[in-house]
Structure 1
Amino acid sequence: MRGRGRMRMLRRGGAPMMMGGRPMHHMSGFKPRPHILRMPFDMFVSESFYPRLKPQPDDKDLTQALLKRHAELVPPTHEQTSIQSLLLKVQGILEGLTVAPGSFEACQLEEVRIVGSFKKGTMVCGHNVADLVVILKTLPTHEAIRALGAKILEEVQKQQAQLKHELEITDRGFNILSVTPPENTKATVRVLITTIGRNFRLISSSMHLDMKYLQSHLAAVRHSRWFEENVNHTSVKVLIRLLRDMRTRIKGLEPLSPWMIDLLAHFSVLNTPNRQALSVNLAFRRVIQLLSAGFFLPGSCGILDPCEVGAIRVHMVMTMEQEDLLCRTAQNLLRILSHGGYNAILGLDQKTDDPTAELSVWNGIVVTPQDNVYDSTLYERKTGEEPEDEEVEEAPPTEKENDLNI
């Protein structure tokens, strides 16, 4: 969707006129225009209304390319063994401190949870990182986190004296790093710190971890639980790996968070009229078609976050610039895919990592990168917020509006 069509989706509805700080809903039968969310065109849902004039094209080559790239992205056995060994040791030490802290008094642990791509089975080769969320009973002070990290490092070194381990303090908690011979495989366990709900009102930005990190780590626990309960299909995990790899290479896909990718892959594979899962090649095409049709633009219904209370849509955390960038990048990718450029999209063509960055030719067809539609001077919106009926004074009319009697 380009030009005027996308401008309509970006446009925000006007607020009702105000009198005395309150909406004038009662005057002259005025009714505010409802904010209606729309589902962009999805061929896999609408196929019964738009029957094909010719058979589905043979996607054998695309399927083989997808599976080949996925095989390259799966971590080798020695990497998985290395990260799993370190993860289990760190987890065991933390759970021991939860049950029997002994002389350790820097903080009290409530719960330890494995989260992230390692837990979900979607880890990508070269990214040997496993995530643990530690929920504290006590407040997450910087001193307590450093003391906990030092304790974990000390205990890990006792268990694996032959390996080199390091402690790295981060804004989110701390990392435990190790190097395993003979391949010198590097492994990292990220320990993400949060606290129980009743402590949130006591958080101080100067003494404790940032509130946004504490909340995101609790959300990671919910995401991991939802994924474990709802994602069992192999095609979903294959698609997640492919999309995460594309996100690291193609700049226009950077606004997609790992959680958005998980939900988008799940939706594309399993959300069908007949409840039958799509094959990985069809789901891959569907992802690009949905994004290019404005699936994550303002005004689109998008995907409801299944782990949040209320009608929270996952794409609303993006700015409007990011939503526009994502849409036009997907449109460029769709044009390239339609003319047989799937090897460049998947990273199998070593000529370029980002095929959308510049003009390209595919089977004699010239594909020119799209221009942006969003103009920050015309549309303003705070990131991640929906308009509400607030008692706000309306801005005074301009001279032009007075002349037009608006």
Structure 2
Amino acid sequence: EQASVLNLVTKVQAVLDNLIVDTTNFDAGIDEVRQIGSYKKGTMVTGHNVADVIVILKTHPTREAVQVLAKKLLEMLKLHEPGDSLVMSMLPDDRGFEVSNGEASVRVLITTLHQHLQQLDPDRHLDYKILQSHLAAIRHSRWFEENAHHSTIKVLIRLLRDLRLRFVGFEPLNPWMLDLLAHYAILNNPSRQALPVNAAFRRVLQLLSAGLFLPGSAGITDPCEGANIRVHTAMSLEQQDAVCLTGRRCSGSWGHGGYRQVLGLEGNSCIATEMPVWDGDVVSALDSAYERPPDRSLDKEDGVDGDEDDMDGVVVSALDSAYERPSDRSLDDEDDMVGDEDGMDGDEDGMDGDEDGVDGAD
């Protein structure tokens, strides 16, 4: 597998080098071609016959320039090796293109010079974040070549990549996190001497289970970024909790004799979700500490339309009006006035009766 990848990479590299020298075949112009990824670092695993190459353009990277470069590369490869059955396909998100021959594949990723990043037009050029990530990958490859060339680190990275493929909880760990984690576990110790692979692998499980990549942890500082950026902050809170939880389950199984299941020599990855029994000892599966907050957008919309709003469990009732309009008392006043007049008439009649009584007495 490594021989097939090496053969295809050599051919692609030779064609790209010719395009750098002969600028008439490609108008955009190529400034540099760099190999990155597991192929460059020497950490490839079985079944992943893919090599990554980054092409740095001299001009602004347009989608048309990427398509022209892909067609030109495929044309020149078939010209030099007419017997090879090569297939070219464009990568999603306009990252670049891929050339494969059935046995191996080479991904050609596109980026540009640093001074062109601030002059990009989103409608014409490739995405800014994609170009920036490709430049970061070059920095990662250069740092690894200078600081992590120890053979033990490369072996441990292969073990961690296999562990990531078998356990779902470790999937959020990207290759750059695995590189830094392996380097930290082997070389960052009081003696400053490289640990053997067996001790370093167990230390990785202990670090993850202890919460190295949890919120608020010191974590591992990204050596390729200017600010003090922790690499685990690229994961969401739910992913950080899943990594820690899976690390605890694997570390517990390893400590009770289940190392063959952790390494994938026996069984499957069920030890991360079930309760395995090792020599009568039950390793219970821990519950997740992170709970996704409920989506309250629909509840808020319903509360606005109704008479009562339920905001975070507090019921706010609709208040009644404090002002009461007084009743119209004009008719009642008229009736009272009429009644008073009747009463006054009655009083006059009574007075007449009294006068008659006085006359009778006389």
Normalising to structure 1: TM-score of the pair? 0.70
* 8 Å CA contact 1:194, 1:217 repeated in 2: yes
Aligned to 1:367: 283
Aligned to 2:272: 356
Which deviations, in whole Å up to 9, do the C-alpha atoms of 1:351-404 show, x marking residues without a partner? 3145303232222222232211123439xxxxxxxxxxxxxxxxxxx999xxxx
Establish whether residue 100 from structure 1 lines up as the match of residue 22 from structure 2: yes
Aligned pairs for 1:101-140 within 5 A: 101-105=23-27, 107-140=28-61
Secondary structure of 1:191's aligned partner: strand
Q: Report deviation, 1:98.
A: 1.5
Q: What is the aligned counterpart of 1:200 among 99, 117, 122?
A: 117
Aligned to 1:280: 197
Which deviations, in whole Å up to 9, do the C-alpha atoms of 1:62-119 show, x marking residues without a partner? xxxxxxxxxxxxxxxxx111111110111121122112222322x2111110000010
Cα separation, 2, equivalents of 1:345 and 1:92: 42
Taking every aligned residue pair, what percent have the same amino acid on both sides? 52
* 8 Å CA contact 2:19, 2:25 repeated in 1: no
RMSD: 1.7
Aligned to 2:239: 322
Moved more, 124-133 or 137-146: 137-146
The one-letter amino acid of 1:361's match is: V
Aligned to 1:71: none
Cα separation, 1, equivalents of 2:174 and 2:270: 18
* 8 Å CA contact 1:291, 1:330 repeated in 2: yes
Q: Report deviation, 1:160.
A: 1.8
The one-letter amino acid of 2:6's match is: Q
Q: Report deviation, 1:198.
A: 1.8
Q: What is the aligned counterpart of 1:174 among 93, 97, 106?
A: 97
Cα separation, 2, equivalents of 1:103 and 1:236: 42
Establish whether residue 187 from structure 1 lines up as the match of residue 104 from structure 2: yes
Q: Report deviation, 1:202.
A: 2.6
Higher relative contact order (CA 8 A, sep 6+): 1
Secondary structure of 2:101's aligned partner: strand
Cα separation, 2, equivalents of 1:175 and 1:166: 8
Q: Which runs of 4+ in 1 moved over 3 A?
A: none
Q: Structure 1 regions of 5+ residues with no counterpart?
A: 1-78, 180-185, 379-397, 401-406
Secondary structure of 1:355's aligned partner: helix
The one-letter amino acid of 1:87's match is: V
Cα separation, 2, equivalents of 1:355 and 1:155: 51
Q: What is the aligned counterpart of 1:337 among 254, 260, 282?
A: 254
Distance 1:138 1:332, change over 3 A: same
The one-letter amino acid of 2:177's match is: M
Cα separation, 2, equivalents of 1:141 and 1:96: 21
Moved more, 199-208 or 224-233: 199-208
Cα separation, 2, equivalents of 1:161 and 1:370: 58
Q: What is the aligned counterpart of 2:226 among 295, 309, 323?
A: 309
Cα separation, 2, equivalents of 1:200 and 1:234: 36
The one-letter amino acid of 2:238's match is: E
Cα separation, 2, equivalents of 1:112 and 1:103: 16
The one-letter amino acid of 2:89's match is: E
Q: Report deviation, 1:200.
A: 1.4
Tell me which protein shows more helix as a share of its residues. 2
* 8 Å CA contact 1:345, 1:354 repeated in 2: no
Which deviations, in whole Å up to 9, do the C-alpha atoms of 1:22-63 show, x marking residues without a partner? xxxxxxxxxxxxxxxxxxxxxxxxxxxxxxxxxxxxxxxxxx
Cα separation, 2, equivalents of 1:188 and 1:289: 36
Q: Report deviation, 1:130.
A: 0.6
Cα separation, 2, equivalents of 1:144 and 1:354: 48
Secondary structure of 2:220's aligned partner: coil
Distance 1:362 1:145, change over 3 A: same
Q: Structure 2 regions of 5+ residues with no counterpart?
A: 295-311, 315-362
Aligned to 1:60: none
Determine which structure has more spread, i.e. the larger CA radius of gyration.
2
Establish whether residue 291 from structure 1 lines up as the match of residue 195 from structure 2: no
The one-letter amino acid of 1:377's match is: P
Q: Report deviation, 1:140.
A: 1.5
